[in-house]
């Protein structure tokens, strides 16, 4: 389950190995996995294909790294983030995706393993051939002339802008969907596609309009308006906004569940500070020790050692 999940619609049925299979562990795939796992969906990321990002000397235009960051460290942090959110990461090349008669998807990997999932997010960059068989090949693939040869590639116009496809439960994210090659754009599109999946799932559960959106953020507890802490306030709002065909009992159930979700998004100052420190420690753990020591003031290091040992450290 997601590390900070506040979704309550249950665990995966035992006939499924996961709720979501993400094919591709680059920026798009990891970002998608973070959002689905944090929403409470059991998510497995399959990553063993070629990566153009690993041919990049230094990633210097990804927001939050003003000095740039080497690609291996960035990818390690991205996959660490996905795993911390609750994803399982498997080093396996997906060779095919099929639609079993009893629902969901069946993924076959190069090593002969088989996995059943409810949803698939295709987030690999180069090759969508594993999707062959899910739809008419003329809909999935296009041919083009390249260097004097006729080649086949996945049709990036097959999914819509939010990653949805004509195949129920299949979504496409990142460069495979035509969003572009820049890592920050691919990551943003992966998050967009995951939110499309989550919205579709919430609509299936009965939510509509703005209530079908799932916003993954944490609110300051000091900003909580007391009147909205009362579930009946949400029931009144839902009743005034619900489609006419909705049953009153169903409206109340949805409203109370929504109120619980929102209440769970508030964080008290102590928890916020603890999470901020945890985040900085995780980032520091990814950095070279010598670089960290060089960046820290010598007096701060001596004070830290003195506090740890209980006396003044000796100096050579």
**pLDDT at residue 13, rounded to an integer:** 53
Non-local CB neighbours of 269 within 8 Å, separated by 6+ positions: 220, 221, 222
Q: What is the domain-level CATH number for residue 200? A: 3.50.50.60
10 pLDDT tier (thresholds 50, 70, 90): very low
Identify the pLDDT of residue 83. 97
Q: What is the pLDDT of residues 128-141, one digit of tens each?
A: 999 999 999 999 99
- pLDDT of res. 9: 44
In angstroms and rounded to an integer, the radius of gyration of the C-alpha atoms of the chain is 23
170 touches 117 (CB < 8 A): no
Evaluate whether residue 252 is within a structural domain: no
Range of the structural domain that residue 159 is part of: 18-204
Q: Who has greater pLDDT, 268 or 302?
A: 268
pLDDT-based confidence at 2, cuts 50/70/90? very low
**Domain presence at residue 262:** no
Residue 6 confidence (pLDDT):
39
φ and ψ of 252, to 5 deg: -65, -45
- Residue 216 falls inside a structural domain: no
Say how many domains are in the chain. Answer: 1
Task: Note whether residue 244 is domain-resident.
Answer: no
**E-assigned strand segments in the chain:** 18-23, 43-46, 88-90, 94-98, 105-109, 114-122, 141-146, 149-154, 170-172, 219-220, 266-267
Work out the average pLDDT over 277-286.
Answer: 91
316 domain-assigned: no
Q: What is the mean pLDDT of residues 80-85?
A: 96
Give the model confidence (pLDDT) of 53-69 as tens digits: 888 888 999 999 999 99
Question: For position 59, what pLDDT does the model report?
Answer: 93
Q: What is the mean pLDDT of the chain?
A: 89
pLDDT tens digits for range 207-251: 999 999 998 989 999 888 888 888 999 999 999 999 999 999 999
Residue 311: per-residue pLDDT: 58
The pLDDT confidence band at residue 297, using thresholds 50, 70 and 90, is confident
- Other beta carbons within 10 angstroms of residue 248's beta carbon come to 11
Among 170, 211, 172, residue whose Cα is nearest residue 189: 172
Give the β-pairing of 149-154 and 266-267.
Answer: unpaired
∠ CA 164-165-169, nearest 5°, is 80
């Amino acid at each position: 389950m997601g590390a900070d999940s506040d979704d309550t619609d249950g665990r995966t049925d035992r006939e499924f190995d996961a709720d979501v299979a993400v094919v591709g562990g680059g920026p798009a795939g990891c970002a998608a996995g973070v959002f689905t796992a944090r929403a409470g969906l059991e998510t497995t990321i399959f990553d063993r294909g070629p990566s153009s990002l690993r041919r990049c000397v230094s990633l210097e235009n990804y927001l939050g790294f003003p000095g740039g960051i080497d690609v291996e460290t960035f990818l390690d942090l991205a996959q660490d983030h996905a795993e911390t959110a609750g994803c399982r990461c498997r080093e396996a090349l997906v060779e095919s995706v099929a639609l079993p008669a009893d629902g969901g998807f069946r993924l076959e990997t190069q090593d002969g393993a088989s996995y059943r999932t409810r949803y698939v997010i295709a987030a690999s960059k180069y090759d969508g051939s594993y999707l062959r068989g899910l739809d008419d090949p003329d809909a999935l693939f296009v041919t083009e002339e390249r260097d004097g040869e006729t080649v086949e590639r996945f049709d990036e116009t097959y999914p819509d802008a939010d990653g949805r496809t004509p195949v129920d439960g299949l979504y496409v994210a990142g460069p495979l969907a035509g969003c572009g090659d820049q890592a920050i754009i691919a990551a943003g599109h992966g998050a967009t596609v995951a939110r499309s999946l989550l919205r579709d799932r919430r609509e299936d559960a009965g939510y509509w309009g703005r209530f079908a959106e799932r916003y993954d953020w944490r609110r300051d507890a000091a900003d909580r308006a007391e009147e909205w802490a009362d579930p009946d306030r949400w029931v009144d709002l839902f009743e005034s906004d619900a489609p006419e065909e909705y049953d009153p009992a169903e409206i109340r159930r949805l409203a109370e569940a929504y109120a619980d979700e929102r209440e769970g998004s508030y964080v008290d100052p102590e928890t916020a500070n603890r999470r901020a420190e945890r985040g900085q420690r995780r980032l520091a753990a990814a950095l070279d020790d010598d670089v960290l020591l060089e960046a820290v003031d010598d007096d701060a290091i001596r004070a830290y050692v003195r506090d740890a040992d209980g006396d003044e450290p000796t100096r050579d």
